[in-house]
């Protein structure tokens, strides 16, 4: 497979031609850029991605019609930061997302579907049609200590730490994770870089 790159007059990439894979001669084409980022590009399957930004250069929308698309709101919960407060899925409302943060910017609540819209004042509570709804708590070091709600793996659990280390895991004297539970161990070299990993209790 071969991949090449084309550029416009100011040196920005505007196409990615290629050969040797599934008969495709153009992987990405018609890239249109703004000063703050890519505005539009086409793909070899004739689909087109378009993107929009707000006046603070935050992405406000991206869309591949018929495939996936999102609109983002940063101020609906009066946060008005670069953290997304509400994400609306253009194709499936059950995938809508809302996010709330604590005073340190850590994720505190995350809702989906109808609960996401209720959270930001665009609907009412009482319908659970998304994949999850969670609330998170942290210790003074920023470690996740508790998650409650529904959806996903382990919908409710608490975590405890000693000396900023998760009690359910094992560590070496320098703080490297050596046993993560669930069947995985890790080893490190003299510089503290991971040198290997191994699975145990693997069922054949």
Q: How many helical (H) and strand (E) elements, i.e. helices and strands, does the chain have?
A: 1, 20
What is the DSSP-derived secondary structure letter of residue 124? -
Whole-angstrom distance, CA of residue 86 vs CA of residue 48: 24
pLDDT in tens, the chain (204 residues): 899 999 988 898 999 999 888 888 899 999 998 877 889 999 988 999 999 999 898 999 999 999 999 999 999 998 888 999 999 999 999 999 999 999 999 999 999 999 999 999 999 999 999 999 999 999 888 988 888 888 875 544 677 888 888 888 999 999 999 998 777 899 999 999 999 998 876 554
Predicted local confidence at residue 164, as pLDDT? 86
CA atoms within 13 A on the CB side of 54: 14
Predicted local confidence at residue 78, as pLDDT? 87
CA atoms within 13 A on the CB side of 110: 16
Predicted local confidence at residue 151, as pLDDT? 86
Chain centroid, CA 44 distance in Å: 25
Predicted local confidence at residue 157, as pLDDT? 60
């Amino acid at each position: 497979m071969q991949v090449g790159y084309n550029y416009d007059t100011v040196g920005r990439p505007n196409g990615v031609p290629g050969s040797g894979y599934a008969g495709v001669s153009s992987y990405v084409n018609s890239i249109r850029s703004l000063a703050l980022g890519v505005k539009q590009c086409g793909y070899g399957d004739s689909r087109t991605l378009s993107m929009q930004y707000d006046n603070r250069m935050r992405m406000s929308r991206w869309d591949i019609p018929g495939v996936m698309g999102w609109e983002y709101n940063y101020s609906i919960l009066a946060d008005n930061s670069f953290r997304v407060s509400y994400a609306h899925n253009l194709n499936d409302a059950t995938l809508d997302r809302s996010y709330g943060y604590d005073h340190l910017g850590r994720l505190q609540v995350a809702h989906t579907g109808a609960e996401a819209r209720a959270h930001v004042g665009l609907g009412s509570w009482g319908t659970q049609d998304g994949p999850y709804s969670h609330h998170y708590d942290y210790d003074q070091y920023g470690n996740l200590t508790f998650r409650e709600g529904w959806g996903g793996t382990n919908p409710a659990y608490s975590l405890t730490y000693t000396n900023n280390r998760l009690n359910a895991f094992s560590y070496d004297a320098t703080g490297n994770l050596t046993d993560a539970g669930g069947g995985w161990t890790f080893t490190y070299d003299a510089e503290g870089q991971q040198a290997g990993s191994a699975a145990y209790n693997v069922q054949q």
